[in-house]
Amino acid sequence: MINDLESLVNSYEERFYEVSVATEVQTAELDESLEKSGSSKEPINKGRNESRNSLNEQPESLIAELKVKSEMQEQIAELKQKLLSLEIQFTEEAFKIINVASTEKEATLISKLEEHASKLKDKDILCEQLKQQKELNPAHYNVFKKRIISVHQTGDYSVHDLLPQSQLQFGCKY
């Protein structure tokens, strides 16, 4: 964009030079004509001076405009750099937040997995105890049956006599 503006300014300067040369040639020709005719040069000189002033101001305004546009380009470049920097910073912060959240979630999941593993272990222990109880149960039933028969024959209905010895040891109360 700056190159385009520079070429535009150069083009205007060349035109200005060409117009200036042409104006000087025409002025010289007009001066000659006026001298031959005997007319006054003042109105023509005034118009010529105004044209020169106008032509002199055009390159200066173009140069000023070029400077403004150049400064704007620099500001745009700085803003783009700041935007890029902020985008990078935002991305880094987002990754940090995601990392912290995933670490916390991972810790929670590990804790729950350990708790689940402990419960599975307890379940296995209870299943093993249940299996042992099932194996012992028929034996207890036979002992219990004999006690009931014995109690029924003797007429002594004490609960302690009816309960299996294993239940009395664990403090089971009926």
> In this structure, are residues 161 and 147 in contact, taking their beta carbons and an 8 Å threshold?
yes
C-alpha 161/C-alpha 149 separation (Å) is 11
Q: Of 127, 123, 15, 26, which Cα lies nearest the Cα of 62?
A: 15
Mean of per-residue pLDDT scores for the chain: 76
Tens of pLDDT along 126-140? 878 877 777 776 767
Give the pLDDT score at 100. Answer: 92
C-alpha 150/C-alpha 105 separation (Å) is 64
Kindly state the DSSP code that residue 64 receives in the 8-state scheme.
H
C-alpha 23/C-alpha 27 separation (Å) is 6
Domain ranges of the chain: 2-83, 125-169
Q: Between 169 and 1, whose confidence is greater?
A: 1
**What's phi and psi for 155, nearest 5 deg?**
85, 5
Q: How far is CA 56 from CA 19, 50, 95, 158, in A?
A: 11, 10, 59, 131
Indicate the pTM of the whole model: 0.38
Give the pLDDT score at 29. Answer: 80
Tens of pLDDT along 137-151? 676 767 766 776 776
The three-state secondary structure class of 59 is helix
Q: Average pLDDT of 77-81? A: 93
